[in-house]
Amino acid sequence: MSALKKIAISIGDLNGVGFEIILKEHEYIKTLCEPLYCINDTMAHQSANLLKKQIPADFHMHNVLGDFTIVPGHVSAASGQYSYDSFISAIGLAKSGTVDAIVTLPIHKEAWMMAGIDYVGHTDALRDIFKQEAIMMLGCEKMYVALFTEHIPLREVMHHVNVAELSDFMVRFYDSVHPEFVGVLGLNPHAGDNGVLGDEERYIEQAIARVNTQIGKNIFRGPLVPDVAFTSHQRKNFTYYIAMYHDQGLGPLKALYFDESINVSLGLPIIRTSVDHGTAFDIAYEHKAQTASYVNAIHAAMRLSKG
């Protein structure tokens, strides 16, 4: 009986780079785990033919019903629906204990919308399916960033920056990761300059004090001035950060570690990791896709899964 962990892999939007990445790394990935690709034979061969590649004999698939004509780089309802169905099938495999974790390839949010899927992305769907407040954390071993708010308009962020919501988020983050230290970013330029540029930082300060008292350790530090929080000097002090909004945290992360970063969903009863990049429609089926993020997502899924 194999000692390798079983990982379900949802194939993402087939009009993008996901399947190319899977085929490029299959020979290596199968030495790390038992990959189970959530796709049917028809769609797998159509994608492989576009890449002028063969499906390996040991390419094990979990059948996902449906078929459509792949159009590289095209946003379509059909590709959005199939990527969603692949994702849901991977979740089912994890819930049943058939696999130890799931790894997701990139979906296209507009394609999901065109297909009538109500979720903005993977994390929103996971929250609803499991009725738990999953935390989106992105990064690599050198630096991770957790997002306090995610895919919401910037004008709405300030309404969420309050002591209750921040405190709850930080407790759940600590329970999931158990970090040594966490740098918490301020919301405003210069972290508000003591109220000159905004007063939201007082809520961040209160939340930090409350949570550190609750856990009995001085884990959370800040609020940090956002424009210097990711300098080389600060990164010597922190591996984990909490950003108040999406681009505040992901802009610096992607500038530093774009090719190797991954996405991890924390606080769920299953393990889910993902690549931290999009469908890359502009290079779909051109044999240009980078694979480091996918490989790191597999490694993280194995590390996080129990047993």
Each residue of 17-59: pLDDT tens digit? 999 999 999 999 999 999 999 999 999 999 999 999 999 999 9
> How much is the pLDDT for 241?
97
pLDDT band of 191, cuts 50, 70, 90? confident
> How much is the pLDDT for 307?
53
pLDDT band of 193, cuts 50, 70, 90? confident
> How much is the pLDDT for 2?
53
Average pLDDT of span 140-166: 93
Q: Which domains does the chain have, with CATH numbers?
A: 1-134+268-307 (3.40.718.10), 135-266 (3.40.718.10)
Q: Residue 1 pLDDT > 50, yes or no?
A: no
> How much is the pLDDT for 141?
87
pLDDT band of 223, cuts 50, 70, 90? very high
The model's pTM? 0.85
pLDDT digits (tens, 9 = 90+) for 280-304: 999 999 999 999 999 999 999 998 8
Q: Residue 213 pLDDT > 60, yes or no?
A: yes
- Rounded Cα–Cα distance for residues 185 and 81 (Å): 37
Q: Residue 247 pLDDT > 90, yes or no?
A: yes
As a whole number, the mean pLDDT across the chain is 94
Q: Residue 246 pLDDT > 60, yes or no?
A: yes
> How much is the pLDDT for 3?
78
